[in-house]
A and B are shown apart, each in its own frame.
Chain A
């Protein structure tokens, strides 16, 4: 009996290669966000310089941080549930890394063109709730527990508007496949203008809801009640140090990069740019590169918005935050779906 691996050697080679590239992109993406936004942009917003000594303009600071975290002692609180405590950060980062499987970074640069890509990405991203709850419960710390419970409530509450915001896009594209959504945007015409066919224009309400919910999913200000630094002292992450804290940290920024990527794909046309259609002939490889660059630029633009908001606004209280999700965002997203549906039917009629 031939093992299945041997049967599909070419398939496995390609898949593993794609996964390694996706992992590299996830890590470098998180690193880019940390350096460009957390270290530098925010510093300049706050009239300071940020790291300046390690490498040109402090660009190697991240390496120093990673090395510092790795060489720290792996501390477990005395009354913690050791197994759960040790596993929690990896559950969080796993849910993050699995989003990268479906995000198309170029016309062919995608690990898997899942037909239910949009649904898969949003479902997988909500798995991090389990890790958050594990971390908070296993830490044997009251602040961590409060943070974890708040985090769980918040992630569940904002998962709904996040999904409902995407429904409008899915209805317009007629597909859950993220690559199809991009190509649908390249063909979409608005008032006869093809170049303006990005879904962010007709779906501006959906875009707003998506970005707000993404901010909440990332537990960033104004929705950072679960980690509230001045209050819960980093919430469910209070007891973590060293490598495990680093994993949480990478998870947070990799999720930011992934959600910015999803928003770029679904609302800003992903890798598509006027002139990116077919007809590149033997320069198809160049089209991949340009597409990747376009996608990266869009992700960075959205990342800028995420971090700008994060470091400007104060945070909501837990009950205000829940009220905002259930009483405002969800009804608004349902109305958005309704209007989108009517417009779609009217356009076809």
Chain B
């Protein structure tokens, strides 16, 4: 069956399930709570699914089990302290969270970090992406039943985390980005080691090619499952690899003018026309490969100079508001920062996280699928709970 045929049959199945509920009200289905304590939900997402046999009639994601009130907390911290909080939003690629906030603050203050700092920021950003998506590549395999790739993913992610730790001092929560630049310069010998590790990560991608991409069972489980057509993806505000897997050629790293150094590297935005779980997996795998290439190129062309612009000893952000968004591992992450000119922190900080929008499509997407496909679809949408409830 081709993808479109499957799409049609999934749609018909959904309609049929609907009709059955409408006309045979006496048939009692089963309500199944997937989560909040369930291995497929990466944390504490709860998906209430109404089942007819093993077919999902409707599904409803319930977020909020991990709400930590970060937007409010940002208002009572000053700008330097906020990065500690927002590290913990998408905890697998945490450096990527700091960057848009610091960029927003810099924009309000009219400061620009020196080129070396921008390059290192971009390198660490892409390494955060590699660390994050590498784990996805393994975890998706674990969700569809293959237990070995997830251990390979943990093994190779460890190399990246070690390097992030060497440069920033923190494995998961670097807290390294500062207004006007970075905390410190790179340690000695870091560049060569990083290039070596990026080669290892590409080796991991090749391993994934052999273990999963070419595996008949994996394709059977993922192809044509959870198809998101292009227009639906647009309507639900999907971003990142989920949107690109539906054929939307959209990547903020390329499309948005940014002080970061992506424009200086030669890389490609991959899209996939199918919009199914397999496409999402494949696009993310290509993204890891591209990210390793960006890191290598930027390290080759790393400019010398200071890593921090001149900033006042006491940060005071003038009155104003701004919106800065970047292409994070999970998708478009944006900070809307309003400053009232007071010496404290932001007056208001609205955080747009990709996972929240990406999960909002779940009720539409899960209709008419089977329970095993629920797991495949949730895994391939790839959300992180800290990113939904922040």
User: Does A327 lie at the interface of the complex (its beta carbon under 8 Å from any beta carbon of B)?
Assistant: no
Q: A46-B152, A228-B145, A230-B143 are in contact. Are A316 and B371 (CB under 8 A)?
A: no
Q: Is the interface of B mostly helix, strand, loop or mixed?
A: helix
Q: Which residue of B lies closest to A317 (CB)?
A: B372
Measured between beta carbons, the chain B residues less than 8 angstroms from A288 are: none
Are A318 and B217 neighbours in the complex by a CB distance under 8 Å? Answer: no
B146 to chain A, nearest CB (A): 4
Within 8 Å of chain B (Cβ to Cβ): is A47? yes
Judge whether A314 and B39 touch: CB under 8 Å. Answer: no
- Shortest Cβ gap from A241 to chain B (Å): 16
Instruction: Determine if B30 and A47 form an interchain contact, defined as CB atoms under 8 angstroms apart.
Output: no
**CB pair B217 A222 closer than 8 Å:** yes
The reply to whether A46 and B147 form a contact with Cβ atoms under 8 Å apart is yes
Residue-wise, chain B 16-35 has the 8 Å CB interface mask toward A (1 for contact) of: 00000000000000101000
In angstroms, Cα B370 to Cα A53, docked, is: 43
Query: Which among B38, B142, B221, B375 is the interface contact of A316 at CB below 8 angstroms?
Result: B221
From 48 to 105 in chain A, residues with beta carbon under 8 angstroms from any chain B beta carbon are 48
B148 touches A311 (CB 8 A): yes
B215 neighbours in A (Cβ, 8 Å) = 313-314
- Residue contact B39 to A230, C-beta cutoff 8 Å: yes
Considering the chains assembled together, what is the distance between the CA atoms of A42 and B32 in angstroms? 33
Asked if residues B145 and A313 are in contact (CB atoms below 8 Å), the reply is yes
A318:B370 contact, CB within 8 angstroms: yes
Tell me if B146 and A231 are in contact (CB < 8 A).
Answer: no
- Closest B residue by C-beta to A223: B145
Q: Which of A47, A224, A231, A313 contacts B371 (CB 8 A)?
A: A231
Task: Please tell me if the beta carbons of A314 and B148 are within 8 angstroms of each other in the complex.
Answer: no
Do A47 and B155 touch across chains, with their CB atoms under 8 A apart?
Answer: yes
A266 to B164 alpha-carbon distance, docked (Å): 56
Q: Bound state CA distance, A347 and B155, in angstroms?
A: 56
Contact residues in B for A320 (Cβ distance below 8 Å): 220-221
Task: Please tell me if B302 contacts chain A, counting CB pairs below 8 Å.
Answer: no
Tell whether, in the assembled complex, residue B141 and residue A48 are in contact, meaning their CB atoms are under 8 Å apart.
no
Fill in one digit per residue for B135-172: 1 if any A CB lies within 8 Å of its CB, else 0: 00000011111111001100100000000000000000
State whether A314 touches B144 (Cβ < 8 A).
Answer: yes
B186 within 8 A of A: no
Query: Is A221 part of the binding interface, using a Cβ–Cβ cutoff of 8 Å?
Result: yes
**Given A47-B152, A313-B215, A316-B221: A231 in contact with B372 (beta carbons within 8 A):** yes
- Cβ of B141 and Cβ of A233 under 8 Å apart? no
Distance of B372 from chain A, by nearest CB (Å): 5
Query: CB distance A317 to B146 under 8 Å?
Result: no
Cα-based distance from A63 to B158 in the complex (angstroms):
32
**A230 and B40: CB pair below 8 A?**
yes
| Residue B218 interfacial (CB < 8 Å) | yes
Bound: A224/B144 CA distance, A:
10
Asked whether B373 lies within 8 Å of A312 as measured between CB atoms, the reply is no
A-contacting residues, B344-390, CB 8 Å:
370-373, 375
Nearest to B141 among chain A residues (CB) is A314
A108 at the interface (CB under 8 A from B): no
Give the contacting residue for A312; candidates B39, B146, B375; CB below 8 A: B146
- A118: chain B residues at CB < 8 Å are none
Question: A47 contacts which of B147, B151, B372, B373 (Cβ < 8 Å)?
Answer: B151
**Residues of chain A with a CB closer than 8 A to B40's CB:** 230-231
Note all chain A residues with C-beta closer than 8 A to B218: 314
Chain B residue with minimal CB distance to A315? B145
The residue that A142 contacts in the complex, of B30, B145, B217, B370, with Cβ under 8 A, is B30
A46 touches B151 (CB 8 A): yes
Task: Say whether B211 faces chain A, with CB atoms less than 8 Å apart.
Answer: yes
Q: For A221, give its contact among B30, B147, B373, B375 (CB under 8 Å).
A: B147
Q: Bound complex: CA of A42 vs CA of B30, how far in Å?
A: 37
Instruction: State whether the Cβ of B212 lies closer than 8 Å to any Cβ in chain A.
Output: yes
Partner of A318 from the list B32, B54, B142, B211 (CB cut-off 8 Å) is B54
Interface string of A228-253 (1 = CB under 8 A from B): 11110100000000000000000000
* A121 CB-CB contact with B under 8 Å: no
Q: Are B146 and A146 in contact (CB-based, < 8 A)?
A: no
Known: A46-B152, A311-B148, A313-B146. A230 touches B217 (CB 8 A): no
Kindly identify which residue among B145, B151, B155, B371 contacts A314, using a CB–CB cutoff of 8 Å. B145
- Chain A residues 275 to 320 lying within 8 A of chain B, measured CB to CB, are 311-320
Contact call A317/B370, Cβ cutoff below 8 A: yes
Answer whether residue A24 sits at the interface, using C-beta atoms and an 8 A cutoff. no
Give the shortest distance, in Å, between B31 (CB) and chain A (any CB). Answer: 8
| Cα separation A233 to B40 with both chains bound (whole Å) | 9
Chain B proximity of A327: nearest CB distance (Å): 13
Alpha-carbon distance A45/B39, docked complex (angstroms) = 23
Whether A228 lies near B372 (C-beta < 8 A) is: yes
12 contacts between A and B (CB under 8 A): A42-B147, A47-B151, A142-B30, A221-B145, A222-B145, A230-B142, A230-B144, A230-B375, A314-B141, A314-B215, A317-B221, A318-B370
Closest 7 CB pairs of A and B: A315-B145, A46-B151, A314-B146, A314-B144, A314-B145, A231-B375, A317-B372
A residues contacting B by CB (< 8 A) are: 42, 45-48, 142-143, 146, 221-222, 224-225, 228-231, 233, 311-320
Residues of chain B whose beta carbon lies under 8 Å from any beta carbon of chain A: 30, 32, 38-40, 54, 141-148, 151-152, 155, 211-212, 215, 217-218, 220-221, 370-373, 375
Known: A42-B147, A221-B146, A320-B220. 8 other contacts (CB 8 A): A48-B151, A143-B32, A312-B146, A314-B141, A315-B144, A315-B217, A318-B54, A318-B370
